[in-house]
Amino acid sequence: MINLNIYTTLSIVLAIIVFFINIAIFCASVTQSLKRVRKLYLGSTIFLLSLYPIISFAALITILIPRSFLICHTIMHLLFTFGAFIYYRLCILYVNGLENFLKEADAEILNVRTPPCCCCCLCIHSIALTKNRMNILFYMITQLPCIQFVIMLILNFIYVYEESIYKVCNWYFAPFMFTSILTGVWGLNIVTRMVDSHVKNLNMKKKFFALQFILIFCKLQFIILNSSLDGVYLGSQGYPITDTVYKQAIINILITLEMILLSLLAKQAYKEPTHL
């Protein structure tokens, strides 16, 4: 019979290679940013570009140490939430600050019929852009890292204390987590479209997609594959190389490969602005 441990070894080697590819893309992106991007935007831009190699590294650690999957996926998840807040701040910088934007966009209409809540907002008409409404957008986005951090911290404590309790409690926290994410992503989408319509040639949609797909790949895809592969026999020969090890290897290799695609998309997107 073929020794299936070789697949674990190959997955580790592949993940390491992909991780270094992500590092190379990140270095190229930073070099490009140093040459093309103004210092005002440089810190936020580099932070957002760094999300992909860090997530790739967290996925690699999960393959090496399967029991660390929750803390590593917590890091991936929180990187998205903090990245969302930094992305919002970068958007405000692009329009030269909130006060200046409100003056220039006097009486401009704020379109709230955007994904992911566009179907739920058919009864809501477009509204005038005011400081109070911009503050609401700020709170919609700021709550994302705050609430997600608290929820993930509690879940990690429960997991360390008793894994069986974690599997039950996880479902009780899901509605709060989902509502927080939905609200935050909705706010980000509104801000992205607002900035994109006000200042052209910023590749705002590409930047937003590069950020949003972190959530899709690291959270939604993880939940789907984790539940789909749960209980599926993957050729385990018993402890320590269990089916869980193979499952985590499959999921996290996929994430590392996807981070290459997102790194390339972000590299292309953050070429702009060069003219501001």
Task: Render the chain in DSSP notation, one character per residue.
Answer: ---THHHHHHHHHHHHHHHHHHHHHHHHHHHHHHHHS-HHHHHHHHHHHHHHHHHHHHHHHHHHSGGGHHHHHHHHHHHHHHHHHHHHHHHHHHTT-HHHHHHHTTTPEE----TTSTGGGTTPPPEE--HHHHHHHHHHHHHHHHHHHHHHHHHHHHHHH-HHHHHHHHHHHHHHHHHHHHHHHHHHHHHHHHHHHHS-SS-HHHHHHHHHHHHIIIIIHHHHHHHHHTT------BTTB-HHHHHHHHHHHHHHHHHHHHHHHHHHHTT--S--
Model confidence at 237: pLDDT above 60: no
Residue 161, pLDDT > 90, answer no
**Tokens 């200042």 sit at which residue?**
199
If you average pLDDT over every residue of the chain, what do you get?
A: 83
User: Quick one: pLDDT band at residue 82, thresholds 50, 70, 90?
Assistant: very high
CA angle (72, 78, 79) in 5-degree steps: 90
Model confidence pLDDT, tens digit, residues 91-102: 998 888 888 777
What pLDDT was estimated at residue 276? 46
pLDDT over threshold 70, residue 266: yes
Can you give the pLDDT at residue 86?
96
**CA–CA separation, 74 vs 66, rounded Å?**
14
pLDDT > 50? residue 15? yes
Mean pLDDT of the region 200-212 = 88
Domain locations in the chain as residue ranges: 5-269
CATH number of 5-269: 1.20.1070
Cis preceding-peptide flag for 175 (omega within 30 of 0) = no
- Label residue 275 by pLDDT band (50, 70, 90): very low
- pLDDT number for residue 242: 62
Percentage of the chain beyond pLDDT 90 is 42
Question: Could you give the C-alpha distances from 197 to 34, 102, 154, 258, in angstroms and in order?
Answer: 26, 14, 40, 29
Give 8's Cβ-side CA count (13 Å radius): 22
- Please determine, for residue 58, whether its predicted confidence score (pLDDT) is greater than 90: yes
